[in-house]
Amino acid sequence: MIARLIPVNGGQPIVLKNDVTVVGRKSDLCDIQIDKNSISKIHCVIIKTDGLLFVRDLCSTNGTRVNGQKIIRGALLPGDELSIASTKYEVDLSGEHKEDDPPTAIHQRTEMLTAFNLEIEKDRLDSDSGNEIKLISE
Protein backbone atom coordinates (compact mmCIF):
# COMPACT_ATOMS: atom_id res chain seq x y z
CA MET A 1 0.00 0.00 0.00
CA ILE A 2 1.23 3.46 -0.89
CA ALA A 3 0.01 6.08 1.57
CA ARG A 4 0.43 9.81 1.12
CA LEU A 5 -0.55 12.95 2.99
CA ILE A 6 -1.45 15.69 0.52
CA PRO A 7 -1.30 19.24 1.95
CA VAL A 8 -4.75 20.84 1.66
CA ASN A 9 -3.23 24.28 1.00
CA GLY A 10 -0.83 23.00 -1.65
CA GLY A 11 2.72 21.78 -1.43
CA GLN A 12 4.57 18.53 -1.85
CA PRO A 13 2.77 15.35 -0.75
CA ILE A 14 4.35 13.40 2.10
CA VAL A 15 4.86 9.73 1.23
CA LEU A 16 4.52 7.41 4.23
CA LYS A 17 7.24 4.88 3.39
CA ASN A 18 7.60 3.17 6.77
CA ASP A 19 5.11 0.99 8.64
CA VAL A 20 5.58 3.29 11.66
CA THR A 21 6.11 7.01 10.99
CA VAL A 22 6.63 9.56 13.76
CA VAL A 23 5.58 13.09 12.79
CA GLY A 24 6.72 16.21 14.60
CA ARG A 25 8.84 19.35 14.68
CA LYS A 26 12.10 17.82 15.95
CA SER A 27 14.11 16.29 13.09
CA ASP A 28 16.31 13.97 15.18
CA LEU A 29 13.24 12.40 16.85
CA CYS A 30 10.86 12.18 13.89
CA ASP A 31 10.64 10.42 10.55
CA ILE A 32 8.73 13.37 9.09
CA GLN A 33 9.59 16.88 10.23
CA ILE A 34 7.05 19.70 9.92
CA ASP A 35 8.79 22.94 10.84
CA LYS A 36 5.93 24.89 12.44
CA ASN A 37 5.75 26.15 16.01
CA SER A 38 2.19 24.82 16.46
CA ILE A 39 3.44 21.25 15.98
CA SER A 40 4.90 19.44 18.99
CA LYS A 41 8.44 18.03 18.94
CA ILE A 42 6.90 14.56 18.62
CA HIS A 43 3.28 15.16 17.63
CA CYS A 44 1.75 11.92 16.35
CA VAL A 45 2.55 8.51 14.91
CA ILE A 46 1.03 7.04 11.75
CA ILE A 47 0.93 3.24 11.50
CA LYS A 48 0.44 1.14 8.36
CA THR A 49 -0.57 -2.45 9.02
CA ASP A 50 -2.28 -5.06 6.84
CA GLY A 51 -3.38 -2.45 4.31
CA LEU A 52 -4.85 -0.22 7.03
CA LEU A 53 -3.72 3.20 8.24
CA PHE A 54 -4.05 4.48 11.81
CA VAL A 55 -2.95 7.65 13.61
CA ARG A 56 -2.23 8.16 17.30
CA ASP A 57 -1.66 11.51 18.99
CA LEU A 58 1.45 11.53 21.20
CA CYS A 59 0.14 13.93 23.87
CA SER A 60 0.73 16.90 21.57
CA THR A 61 -0.01 20.42 22.75
CA ASN A 62 -2.33 21.40 19.88
CA GLY A 63 -3.85 18.00 19.11
CA THR A 64 -4.45 15.77 16.13
CA ARG A 65 -7.80 15.71 14.31
CA VAL A 66 -9.45 13.45 11.75
CA ASN A 67 -12.21 15.19 9.78
CA GLY A 68 -12.34 17.94 12.40
CA GLN A 69 -12.71 15.58 15.39
CA LYS A 70 -9.94 15.65 17.99
CA ILE A 71 -8.60 12.13 18.47
CA ILE A 72 -6.27 10.18 20.69
CA ARG A 73 -6.18 7.46 18.05
CA GLY A 74 -8.17 6.79 14.93
CA ALA A 75 -8.37 5.08 11.57
CA LEU A 76 -7.52 7.02 8.43
CA LEU A 77 -9.65 6.35 5.37
CA PRO A 78 -9.07 7.53 1.81
CA GLY A 79 -10.11 11.17 1.48
CA ASP A 80 -10.08 11.85 5.23
CA GLU A 81 -8.67 15.17 6.42
CA LEU A 82 -5.84 14.75 8.93
CA SER A 83 -5.01 17.89 10.92
CA ILE A 84 -1.68 17.94 12.71
CA ALA A 85 -2.14 21.04 14.89
CA SER A 86 -3.25 23.62 12.28
CA THR A 87 -1.63 21.88 9.30
CA LYS A 88 -4.18 19.97 7.20
CA TYR A 89 -3.64 17.01 4.87
CA GLU A 90 -5.87 14.83 2.73
CA VAL A 91 -5.23 11.10 3.15
CA ASP A 92 -4.44 9.31 -0.11
CA LEU A 93 -4.22 5.52 -0.08
CA SER A 94 -3.20 4.04 -3.41
CA GLY A 95 -3.50 0.35 -4.03
CA GLU A 96 -3.90 -2.26 -6.72
CA HIS A 97 -7.44 -1.11 -7.52
CA LYS A 98 -8.64 2.34 -8.46
CA GLU A 99 -10.07 4.25 -5.52
CA ASP A 100 -13.13 5.18 -7.57
CA ASP A 101 -14.02 1.49 -8.01
CA PRO A 102 -17.09 1.42 -5.68
CA PRO A 103 -16.85 -2.23 -4.54
CA THR A 104 -13.15 -1.79 -3.70
CA ALA A 105 -13.69 1.50 -1.88
CA ILE A 106 -16.56 0.09 0.19
CA HIS A 107 -14.57 -3.05 1.01
CA GLN A 108 -11.54 -0.98 2.12
CA ARG A 109 -13.64 1.24 4.39
CA THR A 110 -15.49 -1.74 5.90
CA GLU A 111 -12.23 -3.61 6.51
CA MET A 112 -10.58 -0.57 8.15
CA LEU A 113 -13.53 0.23 10.40
CA THR A 114 -13.94 -3.41 11.46
CA ALA A 115 -10.26 -3.72 12.36
CA PHE A 116 -10.32 -0.40 14.23
CA ASN A 117 -13.45 -1.31 16.22
CA LEU A 118 -11.93 -4.69 17.18
CA GLU A 119 -8.77 -2.92 18.39
CA ILE A 120 -10.80 -0.50 20.53
CA GLU A 121 -12.82 -3.39 21.99
CA LYS A 122 -9.60 -5.33 22.72
CA ASP A 123 -8.11 -2.30 24.53
CA ARG A 124 -11.32 -1.87 26.53
CA LEU A 125 -11.33 -5.53 27.54
CA ASP A 126 -7.64 -5.40 28.46
CA SER A 127 -8.36 -2.48 30.78
CA ASP A 128 -11.29 -4.19 32.55
CA SER A 129 -10.40 -5.12 36.10
CA GLY A 130 -12.73 -8.14 36.22
CA ASN A 131 -11.85 -11.69 35.30
CA GLU A 132 -14.65 -11.90 32.76
CA ILE A 133 -13.86 -13.05 29.23
CA LYS A 134 -16.05 -11.53 26.55
CA LEU A 135 -16.35 -12.73 22.98
CA ILE A 136 -16.94 -10.29 20.16
CA SER A 137 -18.90 -11.24 17.08
CA GLU A 138 -20.19 -9.18 14.22
Q: pLDDT per residue over 10-30, tens digit each?
A: 989 999 999 999 999 998 999
CA distance 136 to 138: 7
CA distance 125 to 98: 37
| pLDDT at residue 28, as a whole number | 92
- The values of phi and psi at residue 93, to 5°, are -115, 110
User: Residue ranges per domain, the chain?
Assistant: 2-127
2-127: in CATH 2.60.200.20:
yes
pLDDT tens column, 56-96 = 999 999 999 999 999 999 999 999 999 999 999 999 987 53
**Does this model's pTM top 0.85?**
no
